[in-house]
Amino acid sequence: MKIDLRSDTVTLPDAGMLDAMMTAKVGDDVFGEDETVHALEHKLAAMFNMEAGLFCPSGTMTNQIAIKCFTNPMDEVICDQRSHVYRYEIGGIAYHSMASVRLVDGPRGILTPELIEPEINEENIHYPNSSLVVLENTVNKGGGACYTLSQIEPIHTLCNIKGLKLHLDGARIFNALMATGDDAADYGTYFDGISVCLSKGLGAPVGSVLLGSKATIKKAIKIRKAFGGGMRQAGFLAAAGIYALDHNVGKLATDHRHARALGEALSRASYVSSVLPVQTNIVVFEVADGLTPLSVVQHLAEKGLLCSVTGPKTVRMVTHLNISEEMIDMAIENIIHLHVSAHK
Ligand SMILES: *Cc1c(COP(=O)(O)O)cnc(C)c1O
């Protein structure tokens, strides 16, 4: 049996989700006529206390649209150096928005007003305009670390005072809500834009939603069209998203429990030097001296356990909807009994 812990994007829709997709009422969404897409957009906007939503093909697209909405060419975007928007969106900030990026280094990717404020440029003929801060919750490359709303509030206040917009890459926002107990509805107060992925822990096959004010989403619709992201009978996909919100949010607690169990097992393994404290569904560990992460990943793969190399010393495992209790037990057995030699 293969136990695929490479990413929470590998999930397959279950029978209930497929049924919801097959029976969705659809129309041409570029004409604004797909009621299931509208239902998904309204449902998420209401949950997060935002005015409007926009269904997009990917999280990358929602982030890039938001950044384009909130900046002008020659502006500067402030984000953590681990940010998905910086590292894993192919330099899209430069390509789409013609903006520069100012990187901050927060512990596990978690920023504070003290870290952000010195990076905001004063008005000066030589400087780009600092116009946007992007936070990520949970922080993917930070090993699933999450912000509480009480940490976000003072960042919002700083952005307000300095006249910067604040965007949230909430690809895994529901994991953060599950871990912190914060209320989604309070998020709308703090952010100008929020990206929510349906195809990560929530288990939908495709799709992300950008949330914002009516004016932001009006602008975003045109940018989405220019990006080639206007979809026709997208309600078949939106139906999977609605189903995921109705059925899968609560199940994230199981993913978090599974991740903690994996983290605990890994911390006892001889080939692991340290494990980042597990906060959500991502487990990141450093391999012991003398070993490469690739050799550890290959040894685990021989036991049917798939995970990924994420840095010169680090390996990542991600739990998700398609990982059962039985698979976790088997994974733990293998993790504990595996022996990795330096020469292989
Ligand atoms: C996965 C992810 C995204 C979006 O990825 P897509 O594959 O484009 O949907 C954005 N931000 C973070 C933090 C992610 O993990």
pLDDT digit string (tens) for 192-225? 999 999 999 999 999 999 999 999 999 999 999 9
Positions of CATH 3.40.640.10 in the chain: 15-247
φ/ψ (deg, to 5) at 238: -60, -35
Is the Cβ atom of 136 under 6 angstroms away from ligand 1?
Answer: yes
Is the Cβ atom of 197 under 6 angstroms away from ligand 1?
Answer: yes
pLDDT band at 155 (very low <50, low <70, confident <90, very high): very high
* CB of 237 closer than 8 Å to CB of 29: no
Q: Please give the pLDDT value at position 284.
A: 98
Structure tokens at 48: 């997060």
Condensed to tens digits (0 to 9), the pLDDT of residues 331-341 reads 999 999 999 88
Q: Please give the pLDDT value at position 1.
A: 83
How far is the centre of ligand 1, averaged over its atoms, from the C-alpha of 127 (Å)?
Answer: 30
Q: Which atom belonging to ligand 1 lies closest to the Cα atom of 208?
A: 9
Positions of CATH 3.90.1150.10 in the chain: 251-337
How far is the centre of ligand 1, averaged over its atoms, from the C-alpha of 291 (Å)?
Answer: 29
Is the Cβ atom of 208 under 6 angstroms away from ligand 1?
Answer: yes
Q: Name the class of domain 15-247.
A: alpha beta
pLDDT band at 273 (very low <50, low <70, confident <90, very high): very high
Nearest Cα residue to 200 out of 286, 283, 140, 272: 140
Q: Does domain 251-337 have CATH number 3.90.1150.10?
A: yes
Q: Rounded mean pLDDT of the chain?
A: 97
Is the Cβ atom of 167 under 6 angstroms away from ligand 1?
Answer: no
Mean local confidence (pLDDT), 243-251? 98
Q: Please give the pLDDT value at position 341.
A: 81
Condensed to tens digits (0 to 9), the pLDDT of residues 100-145 reads 999 999 999 999 999 999 999 999 999 999 999 999 999 999 999 9
Is the Cβ atom of 235 under 6 angstroms away from ligand 1?
Answer: no
* Percent of the chain's residues with pLDDT above 90: 98
Mean local confidence (pLDDT), 22-51? 98
Mean local confidence (pLDDT), 265-285? 98
Is the Cβ atom of 169 under 6 angstroms away from ligand 1?
Answer: yes
Q: Which atom belonging to ligand 1 lies closest to the Cα atom of 9?
A: 1
How far is the centre of ligand 1, averaged over its atoms, from the C-alpha of 269 (Å)?
Answer: 30
How far is the centre of ligand 1, averaged over its atoms, from the C-alpha of 338 (Å)?
Answer: 32
Nearest Cα residue to 269 out of 327, 339, 316: 339
pLDDT band at 342 (very low <50, low <70, confident <90, very high): confident
Is the Cβ atom of 60 under 6 angstroms away from ligand 1?
Answer: yes
Q: How does strand 75-80 pair with strand 129-136?
A: parallel
Residue nearest to atom 5 of ligand 1 (CA): 59
Is the Cβ atom of 201 under 6 angstroms away from ligand 1?
Answer: no
Condensed to tens digits (0 to 9), the pLDDT of residues 63-105 reads 999 999 999 999 999 999 999 999 999 999 999 999 999 999 9
pLDDT band at 343 (very low <50, low <70, confident <90, very high): low
Condensed to tens digits (0 to 9), the pLDDT of residues 295-309 reads 999 999 999 999 999
Whole-angstrom distance, CA of residue 62 vs CA of residue 77:
16
To test the pocket of ligand 1, the residue of 88, 96, 146, 175 to mutate (highest count of ligand atoms within 8 Å of its CB) is 88
Mean local confidence (pLDDT), 158-183? 98
Is the Cβ atom of 171 under 6 angstroms away from ligand 1?
Answer: yes
Rounded to 5°, angle at Cα 298 from 294 and 302: 170
* Percent of the chain's residues with pLDDT above 70: 99
Whole-angstrom distance, CA of residue 132 vs CA of residue 240:
32
For the question of whether the overall pTM of this predicted structure is more than 0.95, the answer is yes
